């Protein structure tokens, strides 16, 4: 059940990127005032897109809670465990749709006893031709009383793309998945991206929520700004549809469809 978290959070953030990128492709003066390009907005969430499959593999390895000295292997990655964590090695893996993953990560447990938190350190780690450096700290919380999972990732990452472009990403994202009569997810958080000399700040104002069976986020809103100039994205009142509203700095609002 915990493994579902990675898939849902990745899909949620990708839908937000596609939504804004579609809007910004239109020829309109209110959009030109914001001056966001599709490449810039994709860069805002590039780190999560690249590391999604790796995150899932690391959680699977951590969940085994293996004893010191033990080696645990999957089809294309393995881990050697110590009393403080494990060393994970990836050999030409394709994980959750990623390009080939290669390299070694040092994973350190952050809590004694129950392993509910750990940090992965990336040093010249490769996904395809993309090089990753930095850290991602993970923590998990399950509650049997309300049948929910809370998942948190705090990142301090630098990603060097194949074309030489460099993206810096820092911040924290939270996801709660509830399994009641209807399975739902909720995402909060804020993060900062630096790309091609510009700074982008993303802040979730009201939790981005929806039923898991819905294709798109159905409620909540977030602000995305470039060097202080902000666009608000509102996903609606909870109706499971493809409609969202963008509000520009001059107050002009545009209702758009998330469909391709």
Reduced to 3 states (helix: H, G, I; strand: E, B; else coil), residue 114 is: coil
253: pLDDT strictly greater than 70: yes
Question: What's the rounded Cα separation, in Å, for the pair 257 and 260?
Answer: 8
Amino acid 143: pLDDT? 56
Amino acid 46: pLDDT? 66
Question: What's the rounded Cα separation, in Å, for the pair 46 and 14?
Answer: 9
Q: Which residues contact 176 (CB under 8 A, 6 or more apart)?
A: 148, 149, 150, 151, 185, 186
pLDDT tens-digit readout, 171-205: 998 888 787 778 888 889 998 989 888 888 989 99
Amino acid 260: pLDDT? 52
Amino acid 174: pLDDT? 87
247: pLDDT strictly greater than 60: yes
Amino acid 37: pLDDT? 54
210: pLDDT strictly greater than 90: no
Segment (H or E) for 206: strand 198-211
pLDDT tens-digit readout, 103-140: 999 999 876 544 578 999 999 999 999 999 999 998 87
- At residue 7 the predicted structure's pLDDT band, cuts being 50, 70 and 90, is very low
10-14, 158-162, 174-178, 180-184 — most confident range = 158-162
30: pLDDT strictly greater than 60: no
- At residue 56 the predicted structure's pLDDT band, cuts being 50, 70 and 90, is confident
Q: What is the pTM of this model?
A: 0.69
Pairing of strands 148-160, 130-143: antiparallel
Instruction: Decide if 23 contacts 243 (C-beta within 8 A).
Output: no
What are the backbone dihedrals phi and psi of residue 191, each rounded to the nearest 5 degrees, phi first?
-155, 160
Query: Is pLDDT larger for residue 123 or for residue 29?
Result: 123
- At residue 34 the predicted structure's pLDDT band, cuts being 50, 70 and 90, is low
pLDDT > 90 fraction of the chain, expressed in percent and rounded? 26
Segments making up each domain of the chain, as ranges: 4-192
- At residue 212 the predicted structure's pLDDT band, cuts being 50, 70 and 90, is confident
């Amino acid at each position: 059940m915990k493994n579902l978290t990675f898939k849902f959070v990745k899909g949620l953030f990708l839908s937000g990127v596609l939504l804004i990128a579609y809007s910004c492709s239109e020829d309109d003066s209110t959009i030109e005032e914001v001056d966001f390009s599709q490449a810039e907005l994709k860069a805002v969430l590039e780190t999560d897109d690249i590391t999604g499959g790796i995150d899932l593999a690391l959680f699977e390895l951590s969940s085994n809670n293996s004893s010191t000295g033990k080696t645990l292997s999957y089809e294309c990655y393995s881990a050697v465990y110590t009393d403080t964590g494990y060393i994970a090695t990836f050999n030409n893996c394709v994980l959750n749709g990623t390009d080939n993953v290669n390299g070694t990560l040092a994973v350190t447990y952050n809590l004694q006893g129950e392993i509910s938190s750990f940090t992965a350190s990336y040093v010249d780690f490769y996904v395809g031709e993309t090089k990753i450096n930095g850290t991602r700290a993970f923590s998990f919380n399950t509650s049997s009383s309300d049948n929910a999972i809370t998942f948190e990732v705090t990142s301090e990452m630098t990603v060097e793309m194949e074309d030489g472009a460099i993206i810096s990403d820092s911040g924290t994202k939270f996801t709660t998945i509830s399994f009641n009569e209807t399975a739902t997810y909720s995402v909060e958080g804020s993060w900062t991206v630096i790309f091609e000399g510009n700074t982008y700040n993303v802040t979730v104002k009201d939790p981005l929520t929806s039923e898991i069976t819905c294709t798109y986020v159905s409620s909540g809103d977030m602000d995305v700004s470039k060097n202080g100039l902000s666009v608000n994205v509102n996903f609606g009142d909870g109706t499971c549809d493809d409609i969202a509203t963008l509000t520009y700095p001059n107050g002009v609002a545009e209702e758009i469809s998330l469909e391709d």
